[in-house]
Amino acid sequence: MKQAAARTIALALLRQISVGELTIHEGHRTSVVGPGGAPTATLHVRSPRVWPMLARGGLGLADAYREGLWDSPDIAAVLRVAARDVTRLDVIRRRIAFARMPWLHARAGFARNTPTRSRKDISAHYDLGNELFSLMLDPTMMYSCGVFEDRDCTLHEASLRKLEMVCEKLDLAEGDRVVELGTGWGGFAVYAATTRGCHVTTTTISREQHDLATARVRTEGVEHLVDVRLDDYRDLRGSYDKLVSLEMIEAVGHKDFGTFFACCSDLLAPNGTMLLQTITIDDRAYDIEKLSRSFIRTYVFPNGCLPCLRVIADNLAERTDMRTVHLEDLSHHYAETLRRWRANFDAAGPELERLGYDDRFRRLWRMYLAYCEAGFAERRIGLLQMVMAKPHHSTDRLGVAPATIEELEDGAATAVAAG
């Protein structure tokens, strides 16, 4: 009875889809909801237990998929239909936010990304096994958005183009002292050292990442140029010419965004520059999302938080002496990057099973990759690449021309629209 009532309610809500089309197959029954047109998707209900779970929103949808209660030939398409239509619900969420905020703040009040907690959260994702990531990523082992110059571009080429773009924007050169917050598996550090001859100090709090990055540095023969550390970014000291952070800020937690930017500023010389690549969320959704227990924050990136452009700007102004001199929206590249990662992940299914990653885990990660792909495709989330400069930086050593106020405002408007 409970499942039947939940099905009736869920289908009634699904029939209100205002954009796209969703075809639902359930045994011998087929329901088509939505006005038609793109995006279109097909969903196969494997168990009626799925209906009560949908009442929990995105988290319930993900749980049901992980348990095999529903499937689709293209789960990213299902999630795109959901992402496209959820826009109209944002207004309702903002209207009722005032009633939820005290409770959400109270729940989050006891949580803080201390170094110990940060290591635990990072380990829960990045220490799942280097074999997993090597099967999913390209040979650079870059776990951040690539830049696709055309449709025939390979994932490897896209990652190399992104790395070259970072080096160009900072005008990295031999002798530069560079600090990187968030080593990954050493892709940037090795590339910068081998192509520019600069000195790179890079840090991670993932043991698995540290060990593989150290091995890659040794294999490439750049031990004299790259120092891989197993330190929290808050413990770094020194003065550097350039700072790079590629999609690491999302892990620091919303309470520590100010700490992050203050540390970046303190690590840079008076004429230093910083490149930040970050996934962002719309300013209007930030206050609710930062406190919500979403699917991604619960199962994939524990206690992570996407910043919004407003928060970045506010913290730069309040916690640093840096100013933004360049901003580029790269959101359109991320859906393709994620699609390629998901294709690699699916192709590696038998090998992943052999390595001990069971079906529930693989379904969870397939959902995670498709969830993010849909978010970028429908512009629910965005990707920014920003260059910030200290007061005494030299424009002769900057790979991009300092932006005018008008250009930054145009870039910010584009980024917000992409949110």
Which strands sit side by side in the sheet containing 268-281, from one edge to the other?
A: 226-229, 199-203, 177-181, 240-246, 268-281, 381-389, 323-329
Q: What contacts 281, CB < 8 A, 6 or more positions away?
A: 289, 306, 307, 308, 380, 381, 382, 419
Burial class (CB in 10 A: 0-12, 13-18, 19+), 8: exposed
Q: Which long-range contacts (CB under 8 A, 24 or more apart) does 287-292 make?
A: 287/97, 287/101, 288/93, 288/94, 288/97, 288/100, 288/104, 290/254, 291/101, 291/104, 291/105, 291/107, 291/108, 292/104
Q: How far apart are CA 371 and CA 65, in angstroms?
A: 12
How is 109-176 classified by DSSP, letter by letter?
A: TT----HHHHHHHHHHHHTS-HHHHHHHS-TT---S----SSTT--HHHHHHHHHHHHHHHHT--TT-
Count of other CB atoms within 10 angstroms of residue 254: 20
**Among 29, 24, 28, 13, which Cα is nearest to 69's?**
24
**Active-site residue 372, yes or no?**
yes
Radius of gyration of the chain (CA): 22
Q: Report whether 127 contacts 109 (CB < 8 A).
A: no
Q: Report whether 275 contacts 333 (CB < 8 A).
A: no
Please state the separation of Cα 67 from the chain's center in Å.
24
Catalytic residue among 263, 264, 305, 372: 372
Asked if the bond preceding 39 is cis, omega within 30° of 0, the reply is yes
- Amino acid identity of residue 56, one-letter, is R
User: Strand 40-45 and strand 20-26: pairing?
Assistant: parallel
Q: How far apart are CA 122 and CA 301, in angstroms?
A: 8
Active site residues: 372
